[in-house]
A and B are shown apart, each in its own frame.
Chain A
Amino acid sequence: MNSTIPMWWSKGRAILWILAVVLVAASLYAAFARAPVEAQMGAVQKIFYIHVPSATVTLLAFGLTFAASIAFLATRVWMWDAVAASSCEVGMVFATIVLVSGPLWARSAWNTWWLWEPRLTTFLIMWISYGGYHVVRASLSGGSKRTISAVLGIVLMVMVPITWMSVTWWRGSLHPQSVTMTGEMRQILTLSMLAWFVFFIAAFQERLRLESLREAAESGGTPEAPR
């Protein structure tokens, strides 16, 4: 199969980045200048507008890794392996932001940086597990690299529902099972979700392009120079 990404995808790259940056800037403005200050937690609650969208995008990214890993094992088309690895790596960046922003919020809201409560613990285990995906992938070469990565991408998916459901399955969680928001807070959360999702797509296609360059270089093709 041709080892370059489709032309329509490459053409949309600049537009996607502009859209992502504009949306993220708008969501930051909305979070800091427009969102009402939460009555109990105060200004620190504004972390919510990056923490929750980042956590949601993390789970979606790992879900995409799972689907692309299945597609690779079924078809053996290199692009699916590239999609799985790219989605996993960008998902790890979002997961890192969740793990960085969470303790800052917890320090103010719960008076501690970290608690071994169900959601935090399962999310940390998930982060370490998917970090392992990249360690294993980097240590392999040849045909086994893609196959073992795909198997890991499928097996690790078990962490996603465990993390999601941890607040329901185990007692003692400080994270709420659901959050009900109304009015401006809800609108700004929706905008933030959209902004970080578009940002994920922009970063994902950038990472996918890297896999395309690598594939072209390894197969003796002509990798395009980075712009």
Chain B
Amino acid sequence: MIYAVAAYALAAVIWGVYLVSLRARAARIARRGSGMRR
């Protein structure tokens, strides 16, 4: 059971990191865009 739980936990970590990175990249682009308009 420990391997099954580890597989799902690692998948959750991978998705968590990826979705946070998407959000961070979107925020950076929006910041750069607003900086260009000033």
Partner-B contacts on A (CB < 8 A): 28, 32, 42-47, 50-51, 54, 93, 96-97, 100-101, 104-105, 107-108, 203, 206-207, 209-210, 213-214, 216-217, 220-226
Contacts and interface: CB of A to CB of B under 8 A. Distances in A.
A50 B11 contact: yes
Given A47-B3, A222-B33, A223-B33, A210 B26 contact: yes
A226 B19 contact: no
A10 to B, nearest CB: 13
A226 B8 contact: no
Given A93-B15, A217-B32, A209 B8 contact: no
Contacts, number: 80
Interface SS of B by simple majority: helix
A44 B29 contact: no
Contacts of B4: 32, 43-47, 104
User: Which 7 residue pairs of A and B lie closest in terms of their CB atoms, listed nearest first?
Assistant: A217-B33, A101-B7, A226-B26, A43-B1, A223-B33, A46-B4, A104-B3
Nearest to B24: A226
Given A209-B26, A213-B30, A217-B36, A93 B8 contact: no
Contacts of B36: 217, 220
Given A93-B15, A207-B22, A51 B7 contact: yes
